[in-house]
Amino acid sequence: MLSIVKSIVLNGLEGVLIDIEVDVSSGLPTWEIIGLADISVKESKERVKTAIKNSGIDLYSRKYIINLSPADLKKEGTFLDLPISIGILKAIGVIKKVNINNIIFLGELSLDGRIKEINGVLPMCLEAVKCGIKTVIVPKGNAKEAGIVKNIDVIGVRTLTEVIKYLNGEIKIEKENVNIEELFKNSNTFNIDFSDVKGQTFVKRALEISASGSHNILMIGSPRFW
């Protein structure tokens, strides 16, 4: 039984589309994650197994091979927990015959099946749009951040069980709608200003010059040395 699930990893600040290929077969019970995965990804097998079990699903003793393709690109981060678990559940038939080829999955799993927030959702969603992906499933805590990206449906989820039921058509989850104008309408209103900063005269002057000319500025080191 073979299934393929899509996700995205970060290469610096750029997102890269990858395939999570899951093969489940009879034989000596083993779990192998291949495809240049770092330690955080290899540890995901324990989180995934326990989260699936605590979601009320039995994993039979089988041989599980998870390949992260392309194999020459380093994969790191706990956000591959969710797509790996979906690939397994698709392969063993828990997730029915639903087309998930145009869906990106992102999320870290807790041992009880909850889906935790992750970092880097925004560049991942931007890459998904470039690749023509129509839907992205993310942790509920990241849904508003992902919802800023146009031309993609963002589905925020809280648990693995919720994702399974959504994919099987048992429940409906409204896509995240973010009003960007409403979000940023008060972005120029602050409760504090430079008059509240004691000392640091030269730094404040440099920041004022940078802001007035729309220049970049980089501050390095302890504040006491600025």
Domains defined along the chain, listed by start: 2-180 (3.30.230.10), 190-225 (no CATH)
Of the listed ranges 57-61, 147-151, 195-199, the one predicted with least confidence: 195-199
Residue 85 banded pLDDT, cuts 50, 70, 90: very high
Q: ∠ CA(160), CA(162), CA(167), 5° rounding?
A: 100
Task: Single out the residue of 21, 154, 156 nearest to residue 86, CA to CA.
Answer: 21
Helix H or strand E segment including 207: helix 201-212
pLDDT at 187 over 70: no
pLDDT value, residue 92: 95
Of the listed ranges 1-5, 19-23, 150-154, 208-212, the one predicted with least confidence: 208-212
Task: Single out the residue of 119, 181, 130, 183 nearest to residue 152, CA to CA.
Answer: 130
pLDDT value, residue 221: 75
Identity of residue 198: K
What's the pTM?
0.81
CB under 8 A, 24+ apart: contacts of 117-124: 117/141, 117/142, 118/77, 118/78, 118/79, 118/142, 119/77, 120/10, 120/77, 120/79, 121/145, 121/146, 122/146, 122/148, 122/149, 123/10, 123/13, 123/14, 123/15, 124/8, 124/10, 124/15
Task: Single out the residue of 56, 41, 57, 43 nearest to residue 7, CA to CA.
Answer: 41
pLDDT value, residue 210: 87
Q: Distances from the Cα of 41 to the Cαs of 6, 33, 38, 64, 66, in angstroms?
A: 15, 8, 6, 15, 11
Average pLDDT of the chain, as a whole number: 90
Residue 22 banded pLDDT, cuts 50, 70, 90: very high
pLDDT value, residue 189: 67
